[in-house]
A and B are shown apart, each in its own frame.
Chain A
C-alpha cells in the first residue's frame, strides 16, 4: 500500500443554482481541482452521487463526466451510498492510488436537487431509508431523526435549546464561508419559532435542499512532494467505513450511531490517533440531532454529554474541538452526493491554513464523518498536515 496525499481542491458556491446542470456543477468543480493541483494528467476518476436518476433523470455519470471533462477515454467509476456517496467516492479513489492502480485520481461529488419540487425531492431522499418498512408506513427523514431526537431527550435529558445551539453555531460559521448556501446568522429563538417539520424538529434543525459539487485530486505522497500545488499536500492518515441496519427500528438503540462508532474506531486505528488528538472535525449534521449523536459516536463527547458540550461553546471555532467550521450541512448546504467530498475539502483548506475567517488556528489533524440515511452507512476520514 502506498501513502496517499490530497494535492488539489475544487468547489464553487452552493445553493439553488437554476442556471447550472448536474454536469456543469461536476465539471466546474473538477476543473478547479485539476488546476489547483497543477497536474497535467488525470489517470482515473470516481464520482459520488446519490440519486441523479431520480433528481435529474440522468444515470451513467461515468460517461457524462468523462465526456464533459474532455477526456473521453478516461476510466470513471460512479459510486453510491446515499448521503455518504461523496466520502465513498473518496475511499474508492484512495484505494485506487494506495493500491498502485492509478497515480493521479480525480474524486468528485455532485448532486443536483432543485430540478424536482419539494415533495419529489423528499421522495428521492426517502429512498435512503427502508422503502418497504419505513417509507411505506409514512416515515420521512426528518421524522426518523425526530424519533432519535426524542429518544435522546428521553434518555439523557438533551434539551430543545441544545439542538438550537447546533444550528446557531453552524450558521455563524457559514457566514465566514463564501461558498455556503446560507449567509445568515440565526438565534435560538429563530430555530424554535421556525415551521414545524417533525416534532421536536423544526425547519431550522434541517439541512437544506442544495445544488452543488466538490472535487479533490489524490496522488501517491511520493509524487505529491514533486508537485507545486496551491498549498502543501495533505496526507490521508486513516479511513474507516462501516454499515448498520437499513431501518432505524431494527437497531437495539436509537441514540447510538453504530456505523459511525465502528468506522471511527477503524479510522483512529489506521491513523494511530485517538479522539483527543483531533484538532477539528466536519461531521454529518443533516439535522441538529445528528451532529450531537455524531460527536458521541466519534468519541468527542461521552454518551448524553454532547448537548452540554455545545452549550459550553466547546465546538465553536476557538473552542476545544471546533465542529463544522465550514458551516456544516446546515448552513453550507447538503447536495447529498457532494457533501462527503466537501467535508474532506474543508479539512484540507483548514490544514493548509487557507480557511480565511473560519480558520481553526494551529490545525494539524482533522477528521471528516459522512453518513448515509439514518446512519446505515458511515465513512470517517482522518487527514494530517
Chain B
C-alpha cells in the first residue's frame, strides 16, 4: 500500500472530521461534494463528538485477513452526526445491546504489508 491511500483518510479516521450540508444540516463522514438529501453542494467542516448509540451489532467470528477476532462490530449513530461502522473494543459477545451508549476512541486497527505498517482509526467502547 502506498502511504497516500492511508494519509488522505487521516482527518476522518483520526479526528472524525467530516462535513455538514449547509442547507439541510445532514452530516457526512467522510464529507462529499453533493448532499444526497437535498442536492446542495455547500458543506461546512464538521468534527463529530465522540459519543453515540449502538444501532446494531454482531460478533465477528471469521475476521478478514489482517484482523484478529472474535470482535464486536457495530453500526453506531454518533450524537449529532452520521451512523458509522466500527468495532466495540474490549467487549464480550453478551455485553452489547441495541441502544447502548458508547464513546469513540482512537485505536489501532490492523497492520499491513511486509513492514507491518500500523493502521489506526476509531473504535467504540461501552460507557
In chain A, positions 268-325 with a C-beta closer than 8 Å to chain B are none
Q: Is the interface of B mostly helix, strand, loop or mixed?
A: strand
B109, A143: Cβ atoms closer than 8 Å = no
The answer to the question of B39 belonging to the interface, with a C-beta cut-off of 8 Å to chain A, is no
Residues of A within 8 A of B67 (CB): 138
Specify which of A132, A134, A147, A247 is in contact with B57 (CB 8 Å cutoff). A147
Chain A stretch 141-190: residues in CB contact (< 8 A) with chain B:
142-144, 146-148, 150-151, 154
Which residue of chain B is the closest to A203 with respect to CB atoms? B62
Within 8 A of A (CB), among B46-88: 55-65, 67, 69, 71, 73-75, 82-87
Kindly provide the distance from the CB of A56 to the nearest chain B CB, expressed in whole angstroms.
18
Residues of chain B within 8 A of A136, CB atoms compared? 9, 13, 109, 119, 121
Shortest distance in angstroms between B70's beta carbon and chain A's nearest beta carbon?
Answer: 8
Are A150 and B63 closer than 8 Å at their CB atoms?
no
CB contacts (< 8 Å) of A59 on chain B: these are: none
Is the CB of B93 closer than 8 A to any CB of chain A? yes
Q: Choose, from A7-15, A29-37, A69-77, A117-125, the stretch at the interface.
A: A117-125
A138 interface neighbour in B13, B29, B55, B63, Cβ under 8 Å: B63
Does B98 lie at the interface of the complex (its beta carbon under 8 Å from any beta carbon of A)? yes
Count of CB-CB pairs between chains A and B under 8 Å: 103
Q: Is A137 an interface residue when CB atoms closer than 8 A count as contact?
A: yes
**Interface pair B85/A150, CB less than 8 Å apart:** no
- Smallest Cβ-Cβ distance to B73: which chain A residue: A143
A250: chain B residues at CB < 8 Å are: 82-83
Cross-chain contact of A147 among B64, B69, B75, B84 (Cβ < 8 A): B75
A43 interfacial contact with B, CB 8 Å: no
Nearest residue (CB) in A for B5 is: A132
Q: In the complex the two chains form, is B121's CB within 8 Å of A139's CB?
A: no
Cβ of A133 and Cβ of B30 under 8 Å apart? yes
Q: Is the CB of A150 within 8 A of B57?
A: yes
Most interface-central of B63, B82, B109 (chain A CB within 10 A)? B63
Report if A138-B60 is in contact (Cβ < 8 Å); known contacts: A123-B65, A133-B84, A133-B85. Answer: yes
A5 vs B12: C-alpha distance when bound (angstroms): 50
Q: Is the CB of B87 within 8 A of A138?
A: yes
State which residues 39-70 of A face B: CB under 8 Å.
none
Whether, in the assembled complex, A195 has its beta carbon less than 8 Å from a beta carbon of chain B, the answer is yes
CB atoms of A197 and B62 under 8 A apart:
yes
Query: In residues 92-121 of chain B, which contact A (Cβ within 8 Å)?
Result: 93, 98, 109-110, 119, 121
Taking CB atoms, residues of chain A closer than 8 Å to B98 are 150-151, 154
B58's nearest neighbour on chain A, judged by CB, is A146
Q: Is the CB of A151 within 8 A of B61?
A: no
Which residue in B9, B71, B122 is a CB contact (below 8 Å) of A132?
B9
Q: What does DSSP make chain A's interface, helix, strand, loop or mixed?
A: helix
Q: A146: nearest residue on chain B (CB-CB)?
A: B58
A249 adjacent to B83 (CB under 8 Å): yes
Instruction: Give the Cβ gap from B119 to chain A, nearest Cβ, in Å.
Output: 8
Residues in A whose Cβ lies below 8 Å from that of B109: 136-138
Nearest Cβ on chain B to A204's Cβ, whole angstroms: 14
Is the C-beta of A79 less than 8 angstroms from some C-beta in chain B?
no
Residue with the greatest number of chain B CB neighbours at <10 A, chosen from A135, A146, A245? A146
Q: Are B121 and A151 in contact (CB under 8 A)?
A: no
A139, B65: Cβ atoms under 8 Å?
A: no
A264 to B121, CA, bound (A): 38
Contacts of A148 in B (CB 8 A): 56
- Residues 26-58 of B, flagged 1 when their CB comes within 8 A of A and 0 if not, give 000110000010000000000000000001111
Contact B64 A196 (CB under 8 A): no
Q: Is the CB of B64 within 8 A of A135?
A: yes
Rounded to whole angstroms, the CA-CA distance of A154 and B57 in the bound complex is 11
Report how far A142 CA is from B87 CA in the complex, Å.
15
Tell me whether A122 and B121 are in contact in the complex, defined as CB-CB below 8 angstroms, given that A137-B109, A138-B109, A249-B84 are known contacts.
no
Question: Is there contact, CB below 8 Å, between A198 and B84?
Answer: no
**Cross-chain contact B56 with A142 (CB below 8 angstroms):** no
Give bound CA distance, A254 to B75, whole Å: 10
Identity of the chain B residue whose Cβ is nearest the Cβ of A119 in the assembled complex: B65
Q: Among B30, B57, B62, which residue has the most Cβ atoms of chain A within 10 A?
A: B62
Which of A134, A140, A199, A254 sits near B63, CB closer than 8 Å? A140
Question: In the complex, A150 Cα to B58 Cα: how many Å?
Answer: 8
Interface contact A151-B56, CB-CB below 8 Å: yes
A-B contact pairs, 25 of them (CB 8 A): A119-B64, A122-B62, A126-B64, A133-B12, A135-B64, A136-B9, A136-B13, A137-B85, A137-B109, A138-B63, A139-B85, A142-B60, A143-B73, A144-B85, A150-B56, A154-B56, A195-B61, A196-B59, A198-B61, A198-B73, A199-B59, A248-B75, A249-B55, A249-B84, A249-B85
7 more A-B residue pairs beyond the given contacts A126-B64, A137-B86, A199-B59, with a C-beta to C-beta distance below 8 A: A120-B65, A136-B13, A138-B73, A138-B87, A151-B56, A198-B61, A249-B85
